[in-house]
Amino acid sequence: MNKEDTMIFGLTANTELVNEICGYLNIVPGEIAVRHFADGEIIVEPGETVRGKNIFLIQSTCRPVTEHLMEVLVALDALKRASAADITCVMPYYGYARQDRKAKPRQPITAKLVANLLEAAGADRVIMFDLHAAQIQGFFNCPTDNLTAIPLMGTYFQKELNIDAENTVVVSPDHGGTTRARYLGEMLGCPIAIIDKRRPRPNAVEVNNVIGEVEGKNCIVVDDICDTGGSLVAGCELLKKYGAKDIYAAVTHPIFSGDAAHKIQNSCIKEIVVTNTIPLEDSFLEVCDKARVLSIGRYLASIIEAISSHRPVSGVYTEVGKQLVVKGLE
């Protein structure tokens, strides 16, 4: 990659991740200021010239979601107006992804709205991790990459936990996550099972049945998002009732709203493996000691290097197993 023509900027959501990525690439993060006026308005100003540069703007739209999204939009506009040649928006966690369809009359499709806003603001390409619905890629007219953390998770369970494939089942917490569970199951050489789940209302869940054999098996429940933790914990408790032994969870995006920390800490989950697409808050760590964080920093650095060098992004997947960085939480 041509480091003279490539610049990486990070906003306020993923400061540590940005520094990690730049460390792997031996690039100094670009100077950019994010300021909030007294009335709440946001202004973002690059502190150095970006004229003719290939820009990578890194920001997850995690809590506070709308504020972080607005930072991205204002930054894109500033970079475009400053004559950047090409802007790739790296959004490890794509907020509003769960509003991807009209589940009821008169509901918005906000995931599509966000895609429109990003393109209108100046994004030439968007990189995301484990979208809640893969079809969201079709909401964009610009090139997109929906990366997955499954290879990192699979490598962790193989190398760090040394799982016994014959006595392990990968479990999807609902029917929609079957493809994700199958991917991890194929990587580990394990069968899969599915939890039959219903959502009577937002942030509420009912679990009724397990499809597949879990009795006497260790289970790995894999999902893209854990928000309040209610769905995950209820599913794991059901697995216990069906005779499962040790239960692990693997979640790409650790939102962990409300009392999720207490729910997970007091649950039958032995360990929950997450990534740093969303930084874990101190309040979570003070309560729950079951989390292990897999960093996507080296992974994203390889992706950025491939794009900057005009090489296929798909080639990076074969190297993911060598890029495992585990951050144990003491």
- Does 266 lie in the same domain as 301? no
Residue 129: is it exposed, middle or buried by C-beta count within 10 angstroms (0-12/13-18/19+)? buried
Asked if residue 185 is part of any domain, the answer here is: yes
- For the segment 235-253, what is each residue's pLDDT rounded down to a tens digit? 999 999 999 999 999 999 9
- pLDDT for 103 equals 87
- pLDDT for 81 equals 98
For the chain, what is the mean pLDDT? Answer: 92
23 and 70 in contact (C-beta within 8 Å)? no
Residue 330 pLDDT greater than 50, yes or no: no
Reported as a pLDDT band with limits 50, 70 and 90, residue 323 is low
Task: Spot the catalytic one: 197, 241, 245, 322.
Answer: 197
Reported as a pLDDT band with limits 50, 70 and 90, residue 45 is very high
DSSP 293-329: EE--HHHHHHHHHHHHTT--GGGGGGGGGGG--EEE-
- Does 279 lie in the same domain as 172? yes
Q: What percent of the chain has pLDDT over 90?
A: 83
245 noted as active-site residue? no
More confident call, 230 vs 326 = 230
| Least confident window among 55-59, 138-142, 268-272, 324-328 | 324-328
Number of domains in the chain: 2
Asked if residue 192 is part of any domain, the answer here is: yes
Q: Measuring CA to CA, how many Å separate 298 from each of 93, 118, 178, 311?
A: 17, 25, 27, 17
- For the segment 128-151, what is each residue's pLDDT rounded down to a tens digit? 999 999 999 999 999 999 999 999
- Does 48 lie in the same domain as 175? no
Asked if residue 324 is part of any domain, the answer here is: no
- Does 257 lie in the same domain as 230? yes
- pLDDT for 322 equals 56
Reported as a pLDDT band with limits 50, 70 and 90, residue 87 is very high
- For the segment 4-36, what is each residue's pLDDT rounded down to a tens digit? 899 999 999 999 999 999 999 999 999 999 999
- Does 256 lie in the same domain as 282? yes
Write down the H helix ranges in 82-147: 110-121
- pLDDT for 312 equals 87
List the 86-91 sheet strands across, edge first.
6-10, 54-58, 86-91, 125-129, 144-147
- Does 156 lie in the same domain as 28? no
Asked if residue 329 is part of any domain, the answer here is: no
Q: What percent of the chain has pLDDT over 70?
A: 92
- Does 190 lie in the same domain as 179? yes
- Does 290 lie in the same domain as 270? yes
- Does 247 lie in the same domain as 211? yes
Cα torsion for 10, 227, 213, 168, to the nearest 10°? Answer: 40
147 and 156 in contact (C-beta within 8 Å)? no
Asked if residue 63 is part of any domain, the answer here is: yes
- Does 166 lie in the same domain as 277? yes
- Does 246 lie in the same domain as 199? yes
- pLDDT for 189 equals 95
- pLDDT for 144 equals 96
Residue 329 pLDDT greater than 50, yes or no: no
Asked if residue 113 is part of any domain, the answer here is: yes
CATH classification at residue 180: 3.40.50.2020
- Does 126 lie in the same domain as 201? no
Asked if residue 313 is part of any domain, the answer here is: yes
Q: Domain range holding 88?
A: 6-147+296-318
Average pLDDT over residues 276-292: 94
Asked if residue 274 is part of any domain, the answer here is: yes
